[in-house]
């Protein structure tokens, strides 16, 4: 635990991703860790929280591009009016998208439950028929 921050392998251990992945997120601008004199990366608690958010987004099937837009809300320069407006606009868009997905997923869940029930019923019938067979 380098002077109050995390090394890359700390995060690798904690989140179960590779160092390449973490560096890649930096490459595309999702993370901006500080460096020691020797060029080693140091991740702050803020960086760690960001990474956690990125990985949550990925598990939900969002692209890194979408995640980048989402994260932007947390990175607004508190004196820049234009940034607030754009950030909030984007955030509302994503909020709508999230809600849409929740509804769609619920719909899919219902369909799947129904299909499972029907399939299980058919399966029971098959088993019963097998039981009645003389051979």
Partner DNA sequence: CAATCAGTTAACGTTAACGTTAGTTGATGT
Partner DNA sequence: ACATCAACTAACGTTAACGTTAACTGATTG
CA within 13 Å, CB half, 12: 11
Residue (69 or 86) nearer to DNA, CB: 69
Q: Which of 14, 18, 108, 122 binds DNA (CB under 7 A)?
A: 18
Please tell me the distance from the alpha carbon of residue 58 to that of residue 4, in angstroms, as a whole number.
Answer: 28
Q: Are 31 and 47 in contact (CB under 8 A)?
A: yes
If contact means CB under 5 to 8 A according to the sort of partner, which of a second copy, DNA, none does residue 112 touch? a second copy
Please tell me the distance from the alpha carbon of residue 68 to that of residue 31, in angstroms, as a whole number.
Answer: 10
Q: b or e along 96-107 (b: 16 or more beta carbons within 10 Å of the residue's beta carbon)?
A: eeeeeeeeeeee
Residues 44-83, mask of contacts with a second copy (x by CB under 8 A): ------------xx-xxxx-------x--xx-x-xx-x--
| Residue numbers at the binding site for a second copy (CB under 8 A) | 56-57, 59-62, 70, 73-74, 76, 78-79, 81, 84-85, 87-88, 91-92, 94-95, 98-99, 101-102, 104-106, 108-109, 112-113, 115-116, 119-120, 122-123, 126-127, 130
């Amino acid at each position: 635990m380098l002077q109050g921050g995390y090394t890359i392998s700390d995060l690798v251990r904690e989140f179960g991703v590779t160092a390449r992945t973490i560096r890649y997120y930096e490459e595309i601008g999702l993370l901006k860790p500080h460096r020691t004199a020797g060029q080693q990366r140091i991740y702050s608690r803020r960086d760690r929280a960001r990474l956690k958010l990125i990985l949550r987004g990925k598990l939900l099937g969002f692209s890194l591009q979408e995640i980048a837009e989402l994260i932007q809300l947390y990175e607004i320069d508190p004196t820049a009016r234009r940034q607030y407006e754009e950030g909030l606009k984007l955030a509302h868009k994503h909020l709508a998208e999230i809600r849409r997905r929740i509804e769609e997923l619920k719909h899919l869940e219902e369909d799947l439950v129904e299909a499972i029930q029907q399939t299980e019923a058919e399966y029971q019938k098959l088993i019963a028929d097998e039981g009645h067979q003389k051979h």
